[in-house]
Each structure stands twice: as C-alpha cells, then as structure tokens.
Amino acid sequence: MSKQINFYSCPNDKEMIVNTLKSVFGQLLCTPYYKGNFSLFDKDINEETLYLTENHLQKHISYYIHKYYDGTTAEVLDCIKSPVLEYSVPFQREDMVYVSGRFYCRADNIEFSQKVSKFFGKLKKEFRYVKQWKCYISNSIDIEASRFFVPNRIITINKEDLK
C-alpha cells in the first residue's frame, strides 16, 4: 500500500523536516537510485529526489535490471520491494512560485511502513492543510502573498481555503 504527503515549504523548514525524520527513524541513509554506495542523509544534500532508508535495512534494498530504448541497461532501485522513503525536495522557482515537495512510500516492509505513518503524522502537525488542493503548506510561508504551482496551473491560496 502506498502513502504520500505533498507539501510546500521554505529552505528554512529543511532543518525541521530533517529533525522530524531523525526523531522517527534515527540516522537515515541515502539510497542510490542506480546501484552504488549508500551515504549518510543530512540537511545539506542538494538533490532533487532522495531515497531514504534506515541503516539496518540497507541489506533489504533491491535493484532490478532496466533496459533503456537504446539497448543499454542499468541496475535501478526497486521502490516496491525496498524499504525506502522517496523525498522530492520542494523549492521556489525564480519567479517566486512555490513548487511542492513530496514524501512517498510504497514499501512492503510493515515495520518501515509503520514508521513512515508515524513520520507523516508528526510532519502534518508542522503544516497547514489545504483541503481543496490536498496539500500541506509550511507555517513559515505567507499564504496570501505567495503563489503555488499545482499540476498545470499557478494558484493563490487565501485564508478561507485553510478552513
């Protein structure tokens, strides 16, 4: 079963997100998408998408052979069989429009899945929910002065949308 949370945040929220992750999982590892070496996760990593796992679960990370259209192959991460939490990092475009981030998990590992649910619960307490767009917005974002990119459009959100 898959779980996800879409959210908008500022760069200064990064530390809060990392601390919330660590409070639930402890020290996390970044799992490479293409088979390679694991690295320690911290708030200073500048990647668009990270695949996070717990240290003791790295032996359960699974890869499969993917064949590309040009005939080349690569061993890529199997996000269903592997206990990983995908973290797509939110950002603000040059035109000051916020683009959402996402945490997503589809792992079969029950223990890891329960920790993901616990993490989502803690993270949601740090954000405001916008029911119409099914997303969470950081408390540090001035909603009425900001614009947000949702699929195929740029929107503004007012305080009435938060109710």
pLDDT tens-place string over residues 41-63? 987 788 899 999 999 999 999 99
Residue 144 has pLDDT above 90, yes or no: no
Domain chopping of the chain, boundaries = 3-90+102-126
Q: Taking residues 111-134, report their average pLDDT.
A: 93
Helix residue ranges per DSSP H, the chain: 14-25, 110-124
What residue type is 45 in one-letter code? I
Average pLDDT, the chain: 92
Pair 27, 40: CB distance under 8 Å: yes
135-138 vs 3-8, strand pairing mode: parallel
Answer for the pair 25, 119: CB distance below 8 angstroms, yes or no.
yes
pLDDT at 92 over 90: yes
Which residues, 6+ apart, have CB-to-CB distance to 161 below 8 Å? 130, 131, 132, 133
CB 144 within 8 A of CB 158: yes
43 beta partners: none
Q: Is residue 92 classed as helix, strand or coil in its secondary structure?
A: strand
Per-residue tokens: 1 = 């079963």
Strands 49-54, 28-30: pairing is: antiparallel
Per-residue pLDDT at 157? 87
Instruction: Report phi then psi at 65, rounded to 5.
Output: -80, 125
This prediction has a pTM of 0.91
Tokens 């740029």 correspond to what residue?
Answer: 154
Let me know: does 82 contact 62? Beta carbons within 8 Å. yes
Task: Identify the H or E element spanning 47.
Answer: none
Residue 163's pLDDT is 63
